[in-house]
Structure 1
Amino acid sequence: MASPPPSPPDWAGLPDDALLTVFGRLGAPEVLMGAGVVCRNWLRVATGEPDLWRRVDLSDCFDPTIDMVAMACAAVDRADGRLEHFAADCFVTDALLFYMAKRTNGLKSLRLVNCMKVSDKGLVALGKRSPHLEELELTTCSIYISMKAVGQAFPQLKRLRLNNRWVNVECEEQFDNHRALDIASNMPELRHLQLFANRLRNSALAAILDNCPHLESLDLRQCFNIHIDAELRAKCARLRDVRLPKDSTNDYDHEAYIETLELNSLPLLFAHDGVFTQQYPFHGSIDSDEDDQEDQDLDVALGHLAL
């Protein structure tokens, strides 16, 4: 007589340490959207173990059909104040950074890619509660984020990735030079700096090298305004690793293609009293009432945060 088939594994009865190992390998998106709601026991572990949520990586999973902000807020809540590393693409806003600021005070690393609705206001809010952040990435994010404000918000910053995409048109490089000078003046603890496709010139780069004495690595790939002369080579000689403008981009984490755009499709940058604004000269005015209201709301929130 044939023996009965073996009973199926009791996945719902897995011990907590085994579940934590599985969840840790899956990552935050998979736990939030699937594995964490398989059964009551799995949900209990997914929501009741803050250490599981010390590192939240929501990059490379953006889906416009999903409320990504709600997902991120759930992950922050589950960390219960222990969030140390956060990464995301596209959907992060100042409002989300403010939400994070109110719920954690030990953030060490923040990596944002293509997050155009993040400004220095949200970053300053984080800095009020997590001033010991050591790693910051802002890749193809808003060009209006003040590096002076960032440096003052995170005085212990050791690794900065401030990356753009090179656009093959004649553009005003004053803005990138200004931000480079702010890095030089406000980030003395930097060890690692990546400025991919930045339009800074040699003089601004020299200021960074002169005022960041602990700098160990520098990535200048696609910084085509930099001229590699004897003076620059001498300043870089103390660094352990230097990537030059024309070096290979094969190991770059993001898209590295060079864009070609029509000049009249680009915003023009205007400086007044050190503040940069944009205008689209061939496309009429932009209605900014909604953005102004968001700014007012954030100003109020930052005032409460400082109390």
Structure 2
Amino acid sequence: MEVASDFRPWDELIEDPLGDIFSRLSIEEKMNVFPLVCKSWHQIANKPYCWQEIEIEDWSSSHEPDQIDRMVEKLVRKSNGSLKKLCVYGVQSQRVLIYIAENAGSLQTLRLPRSNLSDIIMENFTSKLSMITSLDVSYCLQIGPQALETIGKNCKLLEVLRRNMHPIDTFDKPFVDDEALAIALNMPKLKHLDMTYHLMTNTGILKILSSCHDLQHLDLRGCWGVIIRDICVNENYPSIQILGPHVDDIYMNGDFEEGSDASDILEFLHFDFGLEDWAGFFVI
């Protein structure tokens, strides 16, 4: 009688299940563990389809810029032109941004929060990434309405834009609608728009609402220049989910920026501005 063996022939697993296993691993496990299991797994890990979606925001938020640069280049190279999704935090090197644009023309989802983007970089960058449907340029302080205009003209399939700001970066600055107007005039196909802590007024928001006819979601939390009751949202735009400008517990949920700590932010505000001046910003 043959005794059943507990031995599992890992090298005989078909590629689809292996791909599913691969997709669930951390970036460290994908790079340093999975390829060492056996020869066939090593071969799988080197195939471009395993690198069509690269999500390393958590990893990059805790590493130095030069480490991030090397990792991004390495992973984009592994994708061999098949990259569909790239999420990375704080890219600082223009060289790496150019490398992404030149080697990831199939990108559809791109998240680059707190990266070293500029109006000039965005002009060259987005001209080669026309397939993008979802873009996150939150907390990128060097870009403005010119970059958003360029994005709209080059990325005509764009449906999701995240352009959140940090309250410390916009504190005590004048209201201005230039970015809102650039979005309204150049991104008519938007369905989802996040613009927390922007310095907009009702003028900018009304222009967006009247120009982006497919809009379904609009996040205005922390946009203190917007008076929702004057827009008559329920009557005029009943199909759009509009959040804000009241913040609720956005900080307590850590939604505003990956890697931030709410207690650190509150300590900063209390020390530099007096926490009582920010009473309307938070639920503490």
TM-score, normalization: structure 2?
0.78
Q: One-letter code of the match for 1:208?
A: I
2:276 maps to which residue? none
Question: Which moves more between the two structures, 245-254 or 84-93?
Answer: 245-254
With over 3 angstroms needed to count, the CA separation of the structure-2 counterparts of 1:262 and 1:148, relative to structure 1, is farther
With over 3 angstroms needed to count, the CA separation of the structure-2 counterparts of 1:215 and 1:15, relative to structure 1, is closer
Write the deviation string for residues 222-262 of structure 1: whole angstroms up to 9, x where unpaired: 11121123335367524331112115336663347676385
Q: What SS is found at the alignment partner of 2:112?
A: strand
1:242 maps to which residue? 242
- Percent sequence identity over aligned pairs: 24
| Contact 1:93–1:118, Cα closer than 8 Å, also in 2 | no
Q: Distance in 1 between matches of 2:137 and 2:89?
A: 10
With over 3 angstroms needed to count, the CA separation of the structure-2 counterparts of 1:27 and 1:51, relative to structure 1, is farther
2:109 maps to which residue? 109
Matched, 1:180 2:180: yes
With over 3 angstroms needed to count, the CA separation of the structure-2 counterparts of 1:254 and 1:148, relative to structure 1, is same
Q: Distance in 2 between matches of 1:36 and 1:254?
A: 35
Q: 1:218 offset after TM fit, Å?
A: 0.8
Q: One-letter code of the match for 2:85?
A: H
Q: What SS is found at the alignment partner of 1:218?
A: strand
1:171 maps to which residue? 173
TM-score, normalization: structure 1?
0.72
Matched, 1:224 2:224: yes
1:154 maps to which residue? 155
Matches within 5 A, 1:170-209: 170-174=172-176, 177-209=177-209
Write the deviation string for residues 137-174 of structure 1: whole angstroms up to 9, x where unpaired: 12212242421122122122111110011138421333
With over 3 angstroms needed to count, the CA separation of the structure-2 counterparts of 1:69 and 1:220, relative to structure 1, is same
Q: 1:97 offset after TM fit, Å?
A: 2.4
Matched, 1:59 2:57: yes
Which blocks of at least 5 consecutive residues in structure 2 are unaligned?
Answer: 274-284
With over 3 angstroms needed to count, the CA separation of the structure-2 counterparts of 1:14 and 1:151, relative to structure 1, is same
Q: Distance in 2 between matches of 1:77 and 1:153?
A: 24
Greater strand share, 1 or 2? Answer: 1
Q: Distance in 1 between matches of 2:125 and 2:90?
A: 18
CA RMSD of aligned residues (A): 2.9
| Contact 1:28–1:75, Cα closer than 8 Å, also in 2 | no
Q: What SS is found at the alignment partner of 2:167?
A: coil
1:281 maps to which residue? none
Q: What SS is found at the alignment partner of 1:242?
A: strand
2:280 maps to which residue? none
Question: Which moves more between the two structures, 68-77 or 162-171?
Answer: 162-171
Which blocks of at least 5 consecutive residues in structure 1 are unaligned?
Answer: 264-307
Q: Distance in 1 between matches of 2:190 and 2:80?
A: 29
| Contact 2:91–2:112, Cα closer than 8 Å, also in 1 | no
| Contact 2:117–2:143, Cα closer than 8 Å, also in 1 | no
Q: Distance in 1 between matches of 2:58 and 2:205?
A: 31
